[in-house]
Amino acid sequence: MTHIDAGAELDPAHPVPVPSVPPTGLTASQVAERTARGQVNDVPVRSSRSLAEIVRANVFTRFNAIIGVLWLIMLFVAPIQDSLFGFVILANTGIGIVQEWRAKKTLDSLAVIGEVRPTVRRDGTATTVGTSEIVLDDLLEIGPGDKVVVDGVCVETDGLEIDESLLTGEADPVVKHPGDPVMSGSFVVAGGGAFQATRVGREAYAAQLAEEASRFTLVHSELRTGISTILKYVTWMMVPTAIGLVISQLVVKQHGFKDSVARTVGGIVPMVPEGLVLLTSVAFAIGVIRLGRKQCLVQELPAIEGLARVDTVCLDKTGTLTEGGMDVTGLRLLDSHPEPYVRQVLGALGESDPRPNASLKAIINAYPDTEEWRCTESLPFSSARKYSGATFNEGGGETSTWLLGAPDVLLADDDPALAETGRLNEEGMRVLLLARAAGDLDDPHVARGARPAALVVLEQRLRSDAADTLRYFADQNVRAKVISGDNAVSVGAVAAKLGLKGTAVDARRLPAGREEMARKLDEATVFGRVTPQQKRDMVGALQSRGHTVAMTGDGVNDVLALKDADIGVSMGSGSEATRAVAQIVLLNNSFATLPSVVAEGRRVIGNITRVATLFLVKTVYSVLLALLVVCWQVEYPFLPRHLTLLSTLTIGVPAFFLALAPNKERARPHFVRRVMRYAVPGGLVAGVATFVTYLLARHHYTGPGSLDAETSAATLTLFLISMWVLAIIARPYTWWRVALVAAMGAAFLLVLVVPELQRFFALKLVGMQMPWTAVAVAVAGSAVLELAWRWVGRRFPA
């Protein structure tokens, strides 16, 4: 390992402060001194909104302001029962705050578990600390998969290669030497070293990255964007309609000023689909809490929605289908080197890498190091190269250079050893080749002319839950693609053991063009010898064909693909870099948790799409009724208490249960179109039928108190049609859905038969003819609604 001496001059091309700390790192007193001066990496890492932000987001909304003003007016001009809608809004907002606060606490606790803890050298000892404990001038040790958390300058390097693509867009790793700068937000792909922190806290780019990585967010979601679009159009419709309603009701005030105001407010309040926004937030928050109980950290809330829309899952074999650990099961000699000597070489290679990967750890466990060999130069493993290497002084003055890596990369295509390798791969074994190099490690073509010495056979441990998870994806019509850096035949054998059928393809023979690559990806299932850049290209090729792609992985070679995928899923034991860019982190390292995330996303999206129709049917019929009232110059048929009752029984309570029900249907695009294609005809039919009943009742009833009878008849028609809308939305029926609809009908019947409730809600059916007429109009309207929805379903399929 090369290093830069303290106080050394730097190349002018690197405008970075000269390191001034000895290789042993800062002392405890120096750390304390810098901490006292505030030179610490004190950027707050927030996994969620603060309590104040949660309250502000739930309370101070456009529609809460509108309803709040109307509520205050009603408190002064009408009985308390006409102000019930205000108390309902208070309760709903309170529920939203409580649920999001619970989600915040869940996210906070999970973020602590998944927190990055870099290694810092102090007083000559390497120790792990929290990112907020790093101080200026600290020496940080880094290795493969480590994320650079603060800006700095290299002090020691050992084949150090850093990927800065997340910052610069440049995909090729950058080789670092002592004196070179390192930027926070980049990550190590090969080698190791140490760097001195030159910018910490808010001065470093990591300050922004760390804060954004685990934030509770409700943006960049088709669902949220769609609801915002709907609310925008609702506002445009609501304002002129409400103005017209106010003017008409104050002009037509046969029943007094206060009653006219009450009916005006009763016409405006139901236009606001305020519960839809609340229900979406609550459904997302409950989803976070449910997943949190399964040790699943959702770093970006829309990831729940995104995974529900996924139709293709790209799986990395190592760490996803197989466990991280491996076992050496055999050693096949290929030349005249005796087995004890080959074991010595393997032991020395294991000792030469300070941060061994899973394969090398298995070799270290099987072949202990010999103290006689001394490593003079090393080449760390790189997923792009597919091999590592080291040069040794074997004692007695003899020097040798060895390579360890993929046989089909290090050997010529016609080498007889590849036949044995192929046979082992077909059994699902992983095979590494030990070869003696003829040249130096710093030669970019060091693998050329290497003499094979032995094949190291490793057995991979399959995850016990992988087969069930793959079966779940198949049942849900989600295609699984295994993308691995290992040999294609070996990966295919592993996939076959787990029940995943399909062709295995060597990625080195894939076409470079996106269209051709996408066609091959559609045809095959397993891909081996995939480079990190190819993984990224594969994700892009699938997306170019309209697929929504999720990528799972835990290694540094997966970062680029995780970043570009629609949804990135990382294992909790994965590298810091993968956890930083993934939207979902499985902290328990269980691939079996993924179906729960998919199911939760489908439940949230499917149910919100379903209940959104309920809310928007109410908005449509409320606007239509207001327009009809203005045109006919009559009193608005309802008081606020009537619509509060109807909204509670046909929308509020049912929507809450329907939004939390199981739903396995894959989320589909075009949320606004899919909701409005049913809400518009539903609202039009309900509004017209209700107004017809109201006009008939006005003609039927005469004399004092007739308006209450007219209102009761119109309320009965509107309730029955709204119940039919609910019955359609609740399909397919289960026992609890039928019970839910029946319970809402029974509650309304209770209001009609109990005298105290009749008086409280000002509902009393007078006579026999008009109530049955109201029922007949409702039945006719429901029949028209059923036919209209079926026609819309055929004419405009989702």
The distance from CA 513 to its chain's CA centroid, rounded to whole angstroms, is 29
What is the distance between the alpha carbons of residues 163 and 186, in angstroms, rounded to a whole number?
A: 6
What is the distance between the alpha carbons of residues 527 and 505, in angstroms, rounded to a whole number?
A: 5
Which among 442, 443, 435, 399 has a CA at the least distance from the CA of 417? 435
* String of DSSP letters for 403-470: EEE-HHHHS-TT-THHHHHHHHHHTT-EEEEEEE-SS-TTSTTTTTTPEEEEEEEEEEEEPTTHHHHH
- Helix/strand/coil for 374: strand
The DSSP H or E segment spanning 481 is strand 479-483
What is the distance between the alpha carbons of residues 702 and 723, in angstroms, rounded to a whole number?
A: 29
What is the distance between the alpha carbons of residues 617 and 558, in angstroms, rounded to a whole number?
A: 46
DSSP code of residue 557: G
Q: Is 316 among the catalytic positions?
A: yes
**In the numeric block, which tokens belong to residue 654?**
């049912």
What is each CA distance from 642 to 646, 653, 718, 748, in whole angstroms? 6, 16, 10, 11
What is the distance between the alpha carbons of residues 208 and 193, in angstroms, rounded to a whole number?
A: 25
What is each CA distance from 288 to 411, 648, 728, in whole angstroms? 49, 26, 29
What contacts 18, CB < 8 A, 6 or more positions away?
7, 8, 9, 10
Note the residue count of the chain.
798
Could you list the beta-strand ranges (E) of 164-295. 174-175, 181-182, 187-199
Which among 752, 622, 788 has a CA at the least distance from the CA of 691? 622
Work out the burial of residue 185: count CB atoms within 10 Å of its CB; fewer than 13 is exposed, 13-18 middle, 19 or more buried. buried
151, 158, 259, 316: the active-site residue: 316
Strands 312-315 and 479-483: parallel
Which among 627, 626, 617, 686 has a CA at the least distance from the CA of 654? 617
Q: Dihedral through CA 53, CA 58, CA 63, CA 68, nearest 10? A: -100
Handedness of CA 439, 445, 451, 455 (dihedral sign): positive
What is the distance between the alpha carbons of residues 642 and 622, in angstroms, rounded to a whole number?
A: 13
What is the distance between the alpha carbons of residues 137 and 142, in angstroms, rounded to a whole number?
A: 15
Task: State the maximum Cα–Cα separation within the chain, in Å, rounded to a whole number.
Answer: 120
Is 692 within 8 Å of 777 (Cβ atoms)? yes
Strands 451-462 and 430-436: antiparallel
Which among 554, 540, 341 has a CA at the least distance from the CA of 454? 341
Handedness of CA 686, 691, 692, 694 (dihedral sign): positive
What is the distance between the alpha carbons of residues 308 and 602, in angstroms, rounded to a whole number?
A: 5
What is the distance between the alpha carbons of residues 300 and 568, in angstroms, rounded to a whole number?
A: 11
* String of DSSP letters for 183-200: -TT-EEEEEEEEEEEEE-
Handedness of CA 536, 541, 546, 549 (dihedral sign): negative
Which among 273, 335, 156 has a CA at the least distance from the CA of 615? 273
Which among 445, 450, 383 has a CA at the least distance from the CA of 411? 450
**Interior CA angle at 227 toward 221 and 233, to 5°?**
135
Amino acid (1-letter code) at residue 218: L
Residues labelled as active-site residues? 316
